[in-house]
Amino acid sequence: MQKSNHSQLSIIHSQLKYGQKTIFYSLLYCDRKTMEIAVHPDGTVMVKAPVESDITLIEKKIIKRARWILKALNYFKQFDPKTTERCYVSGETHLYLGKQYRLKVTQGQKNSVKLTRGFFHITCRNEPAPDTVRKLLNQWYSEKAQLQFAESMHRCWQKFRTPGIEKPKLSIKRMQKRWGSLSEKGTVTLNTDLIRAPKECIDYVVTHELCHLKCHDHGPEFYKLLDSLIPGWEKIKHKLELTIV
């Protein structure tokens, strides 16, 4: 890889081999004194280096931190929502807070969704087509997510609360590749589909994002903080991976 035109906004995309793995990264030359390596939730690796940095030295530092980079990339993969094809017909099971409930779809006077005695009772005003059932159930999930996620944020914030750090706003929406995220403005966004996971998994994702208010990357300090807030979080992460399929 050649270094050229070291303007403040020049970005070079490159890659390095580390054993059997290949690390793809973006290199940004900018006005700074030290080099920074960051792994982002979307799987991109950003390297920021001083303008006159030697590329050989940059690559040596990337290799030195390669194990951490690969660990962070692997960690983010667990937040990729797993989906299976759904038919939205009677008898099919759907999750809510980690428990399975069967659908009972009928036609009635108005559209409604009720969760009682182990069943999702879904009534459709018109012919109960799968697409209608899907929309009604997703609307129900969204309404429950507003309530459950707000309660989760309250629980997690009580443990995390730190002088000088304001409680972030909460946003809820469907995301294709993430369970949660923290914006640069400090807003925690949770995937609506997370409502299907157990409460402890929701709290885990919320706490994960809150930790980024103090630790922006997934370095040792981040894991130290996460461990202090949720001892044994690895088991909860594994439960999340197994539950949402």
Average of pLDDT values for 230-244?
83
Q: By CB neighbour count within 10 A (0-12 exposed, 13-18 middle, 19+ buried), where does 201 fall?
A: buried
pTM higher than 0.75: no
Q: Is the CB of residue 206 less than 8 Å from the CB of residue 190?
A: yes
Percent helix, percent strand, percent coil in the chain, to nearest 5: 40, 25, 35
- Rounded Cα distance between 135 and 86, Å, is 12
Q: Whole-number mean pLDDT of the chain?
A: 87
What pLDDT does 82 receive?
55
The CATH code belonging to domain 93-243 is: 3.30.2010.10
Model confidence at 244, pLDDT cuts 50, 70, 90, reads low
Name residue 96's beta-bridge partners.
99
pLDDT tens-digit readout, 170-200: 999 988 878 999 988 889 999 999 999 999 9
Distances in Å between the alpha carbon of 241 and those of 82, 89, 92, 223, 245? 8, 25, 21, 19, 8
CATH 3.30.2010.10 in the chain, residues?
93-243
Contact status, residue 103 vs residue 95, Cβ threshold 8 Å:
no
105-145 pLDDT, tens per residue? Answer: 999 999 999 999 889 999 999 888 999 999 999 999 999 99
Give CA–CA dist 119/221, Å, rounded: 44
Has residue 84 got a pLDDT over 70? no
Residue in the block written with tokens 């409604």: 112
